[in-house]
Structure 1
Amino acid sequence: MSAVLPNRADGDGRVRVSLAELVALGTRIGRAKLSPADSRAARSGQHSSRLYGRGMDYAESRIYQAGDDVRRLDWRLTARSGRLHTKLFQEEREGRLLILLDTHSSMRFGTRVRFKSVQAARAAAFAAWLAVRAGERVGMLAFGEQDRLLRPQGSARGALAACGALAEWDAMPSMARSEPLSTALLRARRLQHGASRVLLISDGFSADDETRQHLFELKARAEVGVLVVADALEREPPPPGRYPLEHGGERRDVVLFGERQRREFQQALGTGPARLETLAHGAGVRCRVIDTRNDPLAAVSELLGATGVCR
């Protein structure tokens, strides 16, 4: 276990990621299964297809054809029909999940329970545990302030490596760096490593005009899900009151009493999550929105098509 611990004190789980919490989230995952991901052609314009090989998963039987392996004859169906039949097996391929994690400074914000960055790490950890419990490998790509890559690994070691990376990346000092989401998606396509699933976790403030097209192109290669992480103030107008906000070391009070004033404040604050949700739906990609108060497990499970999960 010590191999995954970052060289720092563990976070509090509110403004900093807690490695202990991320590791403990694995205890909530039962005998998870992920819905089969379609095999995708490497080039756009080609269609998904079922592949048959010498794997162990039986697919169907068909009439014997010249050249078929006689060891694959379906003797029961042959006896019933009076004609030779051959068993076909679906090719076994180890699934891979690639998690794209937004680390922009906008993620270090929160007014309820925890920062968006901490919530995103919790969601990523759930995804990692789900993947490895289902027999898949998991890798991660951080974009924004951090430019990091964790190559795919399987079994509990893969999930622990993901948890350790999440805590380590969160503890790194701010790099005052930004990256358009379309650029991150392009990098994901190039560094896909044969991933059959891609999960994007972001608050959407880095989304640009090209994001929709890159999501669409990535969807041609893998099953893609988008988890939008928002703060409560970004999703709904706040109650009337005076709100102390701190940014860049400066603290100011925002006074919000009128209904229109509170609605416009929420709309201005929530432009990122709303934009990413719209772009994801426009690209035909599955999308869920959660805020910092939610338990991410249900949303992550739905996006990955997971079953058999303990809640």
Structure 2
Amino acid sequence: MHNLPSQPGVRVNLAELIEMRHRVREVQLFSTPAQRSPLIGLHHSKLRGRGVDFDQVRVYQAGDDVRTIDWRVTARTQEPHTKLFHEERERPIYLLVEQSPRLFFGSGLMFKSVLAAQAASLIGWAALGHNDRIGGLVFGDQEQHEIKPRRSKQSLLQLLSRLARANQALSSDSQASRDSFGLALRRAREVLRPGSLAVIICDERTLGDSSEQQLNLLARHTDLLLLPICDPLDHALPAAGLLRFAERGAQLELDTHDASLRQAYRALGEARQARWQRLAQKLGVPLLALSTQREMIEQLRDHLNAQRPGKRL
């Protein structure tokens, strides 16, 4: 099923998620020897020993390891100099990606479920290119599909395959599990060791009291990166007259010409956004909210540019 032709903006297949690897260079998610990412604070990972990538030579300082003295530069300058190395890093990066019926909707460039899948794929390829161990959990409906973090392309492909299958299986007739997000977070708490990075990609509307508590607990021993997904219609109703909604026998009518109704609806959307912002500030973690209204890479660039050195995450 996951290799079927996609419906652009509505569904994705495995081939498209694999192709996302070519777009990693368009946004600097993780640091390289030549450039530091604004998300470097998320990457104080457990080291595999002293780094092997040479960085630079500087004047010897008290406390430096004498084994790193550069004797050639020392002899030439007649002043002790020491070599510096880039840290060789390895950490598990765990992608929690929602693919539930609440995401099977979009009024912008794509469905929210497609945007979530694309974001997960991009981050996965970036992590693999940074030599990290990558794994994760695809959750939605009544099912969870987990891939244990490994430093291999095969592990990422298994995760993307599960993600594509879940995306292809979505339909408007599906019924979402209200606690699927909380269950996914509890599973992450069970399997992630201290120092891991959990990347949370979910519907903006998914956050509730229970899931917020789980995120607070998860943040005690892991780093978090929050990517709530939204659509313009999550935040504002158009003045389009009488709108009728139906779901499994239930019906609802809204008169969108009613200004007070539109204002109340907008206030609910703003409250959801504010809740994510408060949570991110409380936990001290980056918040990269994504909307179906704009192209994903552009949004990520904007977020990261806003977090350049001199600006707080």
Distance 1:87 1:192 in 2: 35
Letter of the 2:97 partner, please give it.
L
Deviation string, structure 1 residues 160-215 (Cα, Å, up to 9, x no partner): 43332211122347575332645533432332267643321112333233545544
Q: CA deviation at 1:248?
A: 3.2
Whether contact under 8 Å (1:40, 1:220) holds in the other structure is no
Q: CA deviation at 1:300?
A: 4.1
Question: What is residue 44 of structure 2 aligned with on the other side?
Answer: 39
Q: CA deviation at 1:99?
A: 1.3
Question: Aligned pair 1:150/2:155, yes or no?
Answer: no
Question: What is residue 256 of structure 1 aligned with on the other side?
Answer: 256
Per the alignment, do residues 78 and 115 of structure 1 end up closer, same or farther by CA in structure 2, a change over 3 Å counting?
Answer: same
Per the alignment, do residues 113 and 241 of structure 1 end up closer, same or farther by CA in structure 2, a change over 3 Å counting?
Answer: farther
Letter of the 2:44 partner, please give it.
S
Deviation string, structure 1 residues 70-89 (Cα, Å, up to 9, x no partner): 4x332145336757665453
Question: What is residue 45 of structure 1 aligned with on the other side?
Answer: none
Within the candidate set 16, 33, 39, 1:21 is matched to: 16
Within the candidate set 108, 115, 118, 2:114 is matched to: 118
TM-score between the two structures when normalised by the length of structure 2:
0.72
Whether contact under 8 Å (1:110, 1:231) holds in the other structure is yes
Q: CA deviation at 1:287?
A: 1.1
Q: CA deviation at 1:124?
A: 1.3
Q: CA deviation at 1:58?
A: 3.9
Secondary structure, counterpart of 2:289 in structure 1? strand
Letter of the 1:9 partner, please give it.
L
Distance 1:280 1:56 in 2: 33
Secondary structure, counterpart of 1:288 in structure 2? coil
Gaps of 5+ in 2: 31-36, 309-313
Within the candidate set 82, 98, 101, 2:97 is matched to: 101
Moved more, 224-233 or 195-204: 195-204
Q: CA deviation at 1:242?
A: 3.3
Per the alignment, do residues 298 and 138 of structure 1 end up closer, same or farther by CA in structure 2, a change over 3 Å counting?
Answer: farther
Deviation string, structure 1 residues 127-167 (Cα, Å, up to 9, x no partner): 22332334434222123423121223456545543332211
Whether contact under 8 Å (1:123, 1:296) holds in the other structure is yes
Q: CA deviation at 1:255?
A: 2.8
Question: Aligned pair 1:55/2:52, yes or no?
Answer: yes
Q: CA deviation at 1:30?
A: 2.5
Question: What is residue 136 of structure 2 aligned with on the other side?
Answer: 140
Per the alignment, do residues 76 and 89 of structure 1 end up closer, same or farther by CA in structure 2, a change over 3 Å counting?
Answer: same
Distance 1:157 1:32 in 2: 23
Moved more, 125-134 or 77-86: 77-86
Question: What is residue 161 of structure 2 aligned with on the other side?
Answer: 164
Whether contact under 8 Å (2:112, 2:292) holds in the other structure is yes
Letter of the 2:24 partner, please give it.
I
Whether contact under 8 Å (2:277, 2:287) holds in the other structure is yes
Counterparts of residues 67-82 of structure 1 (less than 5 Å) = 70=67, 72-76=68-72, 78-79=74-75
Whether contact under 8 Å (2:237, 2:256) holds in the other structure is no
> Which structure's relative contact order is higher, taking Cα pairs within 8 Å and 6+ residues apart?
1
Deviation string, structure 1 residues 102-125 (Cα, Å, up to 9, x no partner): 234322233444332222112212
The CA RMSD over aligned residues, in Å, is: 3.9
Equivalent residues, number:
292
Question: What is residue 191 of structure 1 aligned with on the other side?
Answer: 191
Distance 2:48 2:135 in 1: 24
Counterparts of residues 243-282 of structure 1 (less than 5 Å) = 243-248=243-248, 253-268=253-268, 272=272, 274-282=274-282
Per the alignment, do residues 300 and 224 of structure 1 end up closer, same or farther by CA in structure 2, a change over 3 Å counting?
Answer: farther
Distance 2:22 2:48 in 1: 35
Gaps of 5+ in 1: 42-49
Distance 1:77 1:96 in 2: 38
Structure holding more helix per residue? 2
Per the alignment, do residues 121 and 217 of structure 1 end up closer, same or farther by CA in structure 2, a change over 3 Å counting?
Answer: same
